[in-house]
Amino acid sequence: MNDLGLRVSGLHCEVDGNEILKGIDLDVEPGKVHALMGPNGSGKSTLAFCLTGHPHYNVTSGSATIDGEDLLAMAPDKRAKAGLFLSFQYPAAIPGVKVANFLHATRQAVRPGSLTPAAFRKFLYDKVELVGMEPSFLTRYLNDGFSGGEKKRLEMLQLAVLAPKYAILDETDSGLDVDALKDVGKSIEALRASEEGKTAGFLIITHYPRILQHVTADVVHVMIDGRIVMTGGADLADRIEREGYDTIREETAALA
């Protein structure tokens, strides 16, 4: 059996005693892009936080593995070192911490000693070029005064620097205008085309299909009320755009 992948089976999770996830089954394979769609409050971000180890999210049953290793048994920092990455819906600003210093510290935390300072500098500028950012971003304070689009593109740069095995992008399209969304989509596609990105698995969490106009999904899942109720190809996102979630809710309820 091939153990490669971010594999979730029968996952139940609660927050403050309220069950949010009600048995999630999901496999994200290396080199594939999965989109997880659903209305607000359906549990999409809860899944992201459960998998990355947020202490307020309590897994009550089920399993999750990363390339065959028990993900849920790991501390949050160990999950990152195992190759799991989460981009936040609302990235935090940290005045006084320069972007370049932050990126060096995060790379060292996940892959200690993998690059000398001189090699990291060249590596970093290569990644800046890859995601289409201006080098001047590196001297700014982390997300301090950044626009929504700048924050999201900086997360794409973090993704490029860390080169994880599996990346969970939680509503990367949230609050972006048309141009910023297009830029973020280009960054994701550039990462996927890079040598390290070709084998990375992506889980893009969104409730709008807009980001999928710029990033091609191999598989689309629909989550409603804490369950994945439908899985299909990229055309499923188009259907959601046309018909909305209520139609899918009614259809799956009739089949239950």
Neighbours of 180 (CB within 10 A): 18
Q: How many domains does the chain have?
A: 1
| Domain annotation covers residue 229 | yes
Q: In the predicted model, is pLDDT for residue 50 greater than 60?
A: yes
pLDDT tens, position by position, 119-161: 999 999 999 998 888 999 999 999 999 988 888 889 889 989 9
| Domain annotation covers residue 238 | yes
Cα separation, 201 vs 88, in Å, equals 17
Q: Residue 9's beta-bridge partner residues?
A: 63
Query: Given pLDDT bands bounded at 50, 70 and 90, which one contains residue 256?
Result: low
pLDDT tens, position by position, 16-35: 999 999 999 999 999 999 99
| Domain annotation covers residue 102 | no
pLDDT tens, position by position, 79-117: 999 999 998 878 889 999 999 999 999 999 998 988 999
Nearest C-alpha neighbor of 43 from the set 66, 24, 70: 24
Assess contact for 33 and 202: CB atoms under 8 A.
yes
| Domain annotation covers residue 224 | yes
The domain of 50 spans 6-90+165-255
The CATH number of residue 84's host domain is 3.40.50.300
Q: Which two tokens mark 50?
A: 């459960």
Q: In the predicted model, is pLDDT for residue 1 greater than 60?
A: no
Cα separation, 150 vs 61, in Å, equals 38
